[in-house]
């Protein structure tokens, strides 16, 4: 997810499920909805987000137009911190705001234990979102527990100047042709590092592992929620990333200080790049970019398409202003507002109606060599044909898997790290 960021290595789905199903400390029914009441004079609807959702200007716009329904936002820097606070407040049975922003990886826990969250389904929003986003927030009984704020179709961001120095093609169309498969991507990395041995090919083993996982239909659990981490596709991801750790990776944990520093010292040449990653690249590289530094975006993702990230707005049953919260969330996630956020921040819209919007398709990003980001990320969204199944233990197992990748980066033998991973997953069940 992002320092301006949402930490994508979300943890605690099992703990979250426990929190979601725990009874209120007062002994009341945790599924009982709070008594609804009108906002008192001087009282505001509350929303808590994490990282940077780009809502500051939108909330100011709403407040100016709606003097009787003011909104106050609290921003937490990282998802993990906010997730822990959500769990604490759920166990206490009080303290959550009217609107709770959650990372997409947290939604399986909500769907598995929906009684603490308001069904937000409505004819006003029916069919609004990309299918896989709506399905992720929908219970087997058809309750919609969250409104999708964005999606994360992935491309490849790359340093065109470093490509040129290594004697590789640097034009985005040429680059795209060189990495249509993961085999191509790793082979190109070998060419790059042979020519530029002091520069890593990609930013983090963890980010590339996540990118590859996003194309595995059942990475950790089968459709019946049976844990299956010894499947061939998951083992292939681990083996491939581990085998290339020394030669191609910075071996820095994503979101760490070392990872951030890599942007400023020509530390790596490529980054798996959902739309929201652009703001991280700008923030860490510097805006304007240092002399000679040229970022660009290739309309390609090895292996086809992949989605990384995308959050949701949810309403807890403890909110005494549920109708107002849903009204504001409906407006905040409407196509017009999602387009404004895409333009200013880069988060790709999750709304069906925006995908053919001329404003979206014509959007460019000056920082990335005037890349046609609207066309690129729209094409990347259309290329997504697999959405990993996320069972209730997805976040927990993902964290253990990423820990296993980090151990290899730090010198642990891959086989030993894999065995530790298997033991840790067994302990989760």
Sorted by where each begins, the domain ranges of the chain are 13-151+308-354, 154-304+386-428
Burial of 17: CB neighbours in 10 Å, binned 0-12, 13-18, 19+: buried
Considering the domain delimited by 154-304+386-428, tell me its CATH architecture.
3-Layer(aba) Sandwich (3.40)
pLDDT of residue 415: 98
Chain centroid offset of residue 102 CA: 10
Which of 75, 68, 25 is closest to 43 using CA atoms?
Answer: 68
pLDDT of residue 21: 44
pLDDT of residue 73: 98
Residue 121 · residue 237 · CB < 8 Å: no
pLDDT of residue 106: 87
Considering the domain delimited by 13-151+308-354, tell me its CATH architecture.
3-Layer(aba) Sandwich (3.40)
pLDDT of residue 30: 59
| Rounded (10°) CA dihedral 278, 281, 287, 290 | -130
Residue 202 · residue 177 · CB < 8 Å: no
- The strand order across the sheet containing 147-148 reads 71-76, 45-50, 99-103, 311-314, 147-148
**DSSP of 69-105, one letter per residue?**
S-EEEEEES-HHHHHHHHHHHHHHT----SEEEEEGG
DSSP E strands in 228-355: the ranges are: 268-274, 295-298, 311-314
Q: Do domains 13-151+308-354 and 154-304+386-428 have the same CATH topology?
A: yes
pLDDT of residue 22: 41
Q: What is the pTM of this model?
A: 0.83
Cα–Cα distance list, 121 to 126, 139, 142 (Å): 7, 11, 8
Local structure of 176: helix, strand or coil: helix
Rama region for 95: left / alpha / beta (φ>0; ψ in -120 to 50; rest):
left
pLDDT of residue 130: 87
Pairing of strands 311-314, 99-103: antiparallel
Q: How far apart are CA 220 and CA 241, in angstroms?
A: 17
pLDDT of residue 32: 78
The parts of the chain modelled with pLDDT lower than 70 are 1-31
Q: How far apart are CA 215 and CA 219, in angstroms?
A: 9
Q: How far apart are CA 259 and CA 250, in angstroms?
A: 8
Which of 380, 196, 201, 205 is closest to 276 using CA atoms?
Answer: 380
């Amino acid at each position: 997810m992002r320092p301006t960021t949402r930490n994508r290595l979300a943890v605690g789905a099992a703990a979250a499920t426990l929190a979601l199903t725990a009874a209120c400390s007062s002994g009341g029914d945790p599924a009982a909805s709070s008594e609804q009441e009108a906002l008192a004079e001087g009282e505001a609807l509350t929303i808590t987000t994490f990282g940077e959702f780009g809502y500051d200007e939108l909330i100011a716009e709403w407040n100016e137009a709606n003097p009787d329904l003011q909104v106050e936002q609290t921003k937490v820097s990282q998802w993990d911190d906010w997730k822990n606070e959500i769990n604490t407040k759920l166990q206490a049975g009080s303290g959550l705001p009217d609107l709770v922003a959650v990372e997409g990886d947290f939604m399986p826990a909500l769907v598995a234990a929906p009684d603490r969250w308001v069904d937000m389904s409505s004819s006003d929003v029916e069919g609004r979102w990309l299918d896989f986003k709506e399905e992720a927030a929908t219970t087997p009984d058809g309750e919609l527990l969250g409104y999708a704020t964005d999606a994360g179709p992935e491309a490849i961001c790359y340093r065109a100047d470093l490509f040129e120095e290594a004697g590789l093609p640097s034009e985005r169309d040429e680059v795209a042709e060189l990495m249509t498969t993961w085999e191509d991507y790793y082979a190109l990395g070998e060419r790059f590092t042979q020519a530029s041995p002091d520069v890593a090919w990609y930013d983090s083993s963890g980010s590339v592992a996540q990118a590859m996982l996003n194309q595995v239909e059942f990475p950790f659990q089968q459709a019946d929620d049976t844990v299956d981490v010894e499947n061939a596709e998951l083992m292939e991801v681990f083996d491939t990333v581990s085998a290339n750790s020394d030669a191609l990776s910075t071996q820095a944990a994503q979101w760490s200080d070392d990872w951030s520093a890599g942007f400023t010292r020509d530390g790596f040449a490529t980054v798996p790049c959902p739309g929201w990653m652009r703001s991280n690249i700008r923030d860490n590289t510097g805006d304007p970019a240092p002399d000679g530094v040229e970022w660009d975006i290739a309309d390609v993702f090895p292996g086809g398409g992949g989605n990384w990230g995308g959050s949701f707005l949810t309403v807890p049953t403890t909110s005494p202003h549920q109708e107002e919260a849903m009204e504001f969330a409906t407006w905040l996630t409407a196509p017009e507002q999602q387009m404004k956020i895409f333009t200013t921040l880069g988060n790709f819209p999750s709304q069906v109606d925006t995908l053919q919007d001329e404003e979206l398709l014509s959007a460019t990003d000056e920082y990335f060599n005037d890349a046609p980001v609207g066309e690129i990320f729209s094409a990347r969204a259309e290329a997504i044909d697999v959405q990993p199944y996320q069972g209730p233990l997805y976040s927990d197992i993902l964290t253990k898997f990423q820990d296993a990748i980090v151990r290899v980066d730090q010198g642990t033998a891959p086989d030993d790290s894999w065995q530790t991973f298997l033991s840790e997953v067994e302990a989760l069940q």
